[in-house]
Amino acid sequence: MTELHPELRDNVRMLGELLGESIRKHPGQDCFDLIEEIRAAAKADRRQESGSDQRLVNLLSQLTEDQLLPVTRAFSQFLNLANLAEQYHGIRRKQGHHADVMVESLGDVFKRLKDQGISAEELHKRVTELSVEFVLTAHPTEVTRRTLILKYDEISNALGQLDHSDLLLAERNEIISRLRQLVTEAWHTDEIRHQRPTAVDEAKWGFAVIENSLWQALPRFLRSLDQSLIEATGKGLPIDATPMKIASWMGGDRDGNPNVTHEVTREVFWLGRWMAADLYLRDVQTLRAELSMWEASDELLEEAGHSREPYRTVLARLREKLLKTRDWAEACINGEPADSAGILFENADLVRPLQLCYDSLVASGLETIADGLLLDTLRRVHTFGLPLVRLDIRQEATRHADAVGEIVDFLGLGDYSNWTESERQAFLVKELQSRRPLIPRNWQASDPVREVLDTCAVVAEQTPESLGSYVISMASQPSDVLSVILLLQEAGMTNPLRIVPLFETLDDLRLAPATMSALFQIDWYRSYCKDRQEVMIGYSDSAKDAGQMMAAWAQYQAQEKLTDVAGEYGVHLTLFHGRGGTVGRGGGPANRAILSQPPGSVNGSFRITEQGEMIRFKFGLPRLAEQSLTLYATAVIEATLAPPPGPEKQWREMMDWLTERSLKAYREVVRENPDFVPYFRQATPEQALGKLALGSRPARRKASGGVESLRAIPWIFAWTQMRLMLPSWLGSDVALSEAAKAGHEPLLRDMMARWPFFKTYVDMLEMVLAKSDLRIANYYEQTLVEPELRGLGEELRQRLGTCIEQVKLLKQQDELLIDEPVFAHSLRVRNPYTDPLHYLQAELLRRDREGEQRGEVPEQVERALKVSMAGIAAGMRNTG
């Protein structure tokens, strides 16, 4: 059995002991002893010592209301500290320590590709043209407050300082004293938000990730890419190459979120410019101090008015412009009169003086100086620009159709909602080619339509560098795309914007290739998009709609067919993957996922959402972010130059056979069983999730309604909390059992051995099953579910057990995670801390529901319930 790495084990133990010291002081020794007794009982329970499960349950059910909160907080806080130690360990391994999981270096991947016959020219061309864009989204899965995240970052820094072998005893003691202070601060900080963050708060959180982590990580990554490229091909990375870009949905995603208005979006654009100006100011001030040389090119001397310190003169002027830009943005945010004279608005205005300094240093033989902070700053400018991030706009298709419909109705042209698709297309293309405005001046739009038009007006005011994509959810027809272009054109938009249909339900995915083919047949549109198209694949909703196995296969086939359709019309296709952190929402290890995409679908460009707590796990610290950038870059380069094999005919037939069964089995439970929704509501904390002030979006698209109206994130969150993990395996259990009975296992093993898509699917399924827990799910049921609904729970647990057995059988192993010993051990270490939280949560839910029936829930119960949800999310390393 793999044990934790000694340094990781020591860090976990040390942080746990420091937390224990804080608890001993407050609430006191009695509370500490009780927590230790619960932890010992949970460990004994895991070892299945006789009577241990009853001892744990008895201890927890006897807690007084005053004990509930400190006990819940203690286990939750320990899990956060264990995560932090693990996260730090991932970075220190990269610094030359023993490796459990190493991110393969750029150089190693380049060497392997060259060994496979890829020429140096082809490799250089593909790397310099690479386009990977991370889209930060404020999906409400980040449970941890930003106040605590900053403390945890400080703890990581302190662990890094301890990691030196030459520390004097006094230095070591000083660092441990700082750690003690930080752990105590965290213990005495309320971990639960009491106010739901606004959409602007979420955007600020996204900007903070750039300021605290990506700002340092990105130039370091590009430096490493440049060096590896020189070693592999003899040529480096052009200064203006932007293989990695950052976009955001925070403040732009209005789908189902009435809190994101055009005013919010405008404020977020200004905030981005304020933050960017502030960050560049810091760089330029440091550069001014460093670039004290007098040797310069004639061009720079002329620009500097033949000053003795020409670099400082040019940079001083740039600093003044950045100060003006920051003041202008601040005035705009505060609603004050803003003077835009002399501000930096276009990226080129910022690039020019920096490039002039760079070229001058190189021409003067001072490349060593040019290639320091100045080069890093130039690369930041090319990547982040003056807007800091590219903001995506997302809105539902019907909102645009309603807007066009209202205009058409006012003009007396008919009833747009009853027009056929070809009539809509003909009208939209005609108006797009017309030189006269469509919207009359004296027209009064309804409030929802006015909001759509005002959003288009805000978008039209921005520079092209400020904008990512305009994503249309629930898109199903070419007119959905054309109507958005028309509304933007009417608002004064002159630069073409990427208009991206999002296909997310099973039916949408199946119809996507035909929809895109119809769109590409419109000559006007092909000319508009310049033969470049982005299409978004939604993972969460398709899995909720059809079950994970069917959704994964439908996504794969849609991507294959979309790639073929784009190829047929000579269009360069970028697939935008709307993946979550959990397997039920398309999550899982990124490099495996990318390398299992259909061949040809990752054609040098890749766009992906990074959501909620996954942003922190991947980009929360500079070294971690650098590692994540490397991981994605190598995977996209490899999937482009050495794509995986496509499926053989019999593999496709087998997937069709499996998914036909999995879809039926999934929907029979989720859609057709009348007991399912009541069971879901009673057995999981779904109804209580609204109490966690997670994000600015409501948990439901509609105020009432069943599973179909619930967002994918709370749907997954709820099942994860009680460890049934249902969305990720339901349906697969039946498909794999029937395949075994029919003697198909040799074929399935062949598919696992030779087809990355199927192997990744089975590996992800195994990881989720390892996180499930039949005893805990049973305890929630016994505590919370009416007796007449328990039969369904019994059946679901039996099916989960069957699925676990089928995966072990298929992989020919006696237990799960034989190939993932580090992940398996990490789960085992967490269990004595997550188990009490689960049993506590079931008890708290019972008390909470009883309190609601009486008309009052004790504050300690409600607070402890929220902490239990956050703690379990930390223990499981994901929420939704």
Contact 293, 311 (CB under 8 A): yes
Give 700's DSSP letter. Answer: B
How far is the C-alpha of 544 from the C-alpha of 551, rounded, in Å?
Answer: 8
94, 124, 139, 400: which is the annotated catalytic residue? 139
Tokens of 32: 């500490």
Nearest 5 degrees, angle CA 387-CA 388-CA 391? 70
Q: Find residue 533's DSSP bridge partners.
A: 573
Helix (H) or strand (E) holding 329: helix 310-333
Structure tokens at 243: 């293989």
What is the rounded CA–CA span in Å between residue 362 and residue 379?
16
Two structure tokens written together for 755? 């087809």
How would you write 483-545 as a 3-class SS string? HHHHHHHHCCCCCCCEEEEEECCHHHHHHHHHHHHHHHCCHHHHHHHCCEEEEEEECHHHHHH
Question: Which residues fall within 8 angstroms of residue 355, CB to CB, at 6 or more apart?
Answer: 239, 378
Q: What phi-psi label fits residue 41: left (phi over 0), alpha (psi between -120 and 50 degrees) or beta?
A: alpha
| Nearest CA-CA partner of 319 in 290, 344, 345, 348 | 344
Residue 40 gets the label, from left (phi > 0), alpha (psi -120 to 50) or beta, of: alpha
Q: Report the alpha-carbon distance of residue 837 to residue 327 in Å, rounded.
A: 48
Contacts of 746 (CB under 8 A, 6+ apart): none
Give yes or no for a contact between 569 and 611, defined as CB atoms under 8 angstroms apart: no
| Nearest 10 degrees: Cα torsion 731, 737, 740, 741 | -120
CA dist., res. 408 & res. 405, Å (int): 5
Q: Is 538 helix (H, G, I), strand (E, B) or coil?
A: strand
Q: Given phi > 0 = left and psi -120 to 50 = alpha, else beta, which region is 588?
A: left
Structure tokens at 257: 């979120």
CA pair distance 378, 350, nearest whole angstrom:
9
User: Bridge-partner residues for 393, per DSSP?
Assistant: 470
Is 544 catalytic? The answer is: yes
Name the active-site residue from 151, 544, 618, 838: 544
- The token duo for 564 is 């073929």
- Cβ count near 433 (within 10 Å): 8
Which H or E element spans position 390?
Answer: strand 390-396
Here the tokens at position 698 are 């409501």
Q: Of 69, 252, 95, which Cα lies nearest the Cα of 163?
A: 95
Peptide bond into 501 cis (omega under 30): no
Collect all residues with Cβ–Cβ distance below 8 Å to 401 and sequence separation of at least 6.
416, 417, 479, 480, 483
Q: Write b or e for each residue in 779-805: b if 16 or more Cβ atoms lie within 10 A of its Cβ, otherwise e.
A: bbbebbbeeebbebbeebbebbebbbe
Helix or strand run (H / E) with residue 609: strand 605-611
139 is catalytic: yes
CA-closest candidate to residue 254, choices 697, 556, 635, 585: 697
The region that residue 305 occupies, defined by phi over 0 for left and psi between -120 and 50 for alpha, beta otherwise, is left
3-state SS, residue 391: strand
Active site residues: 139, 544
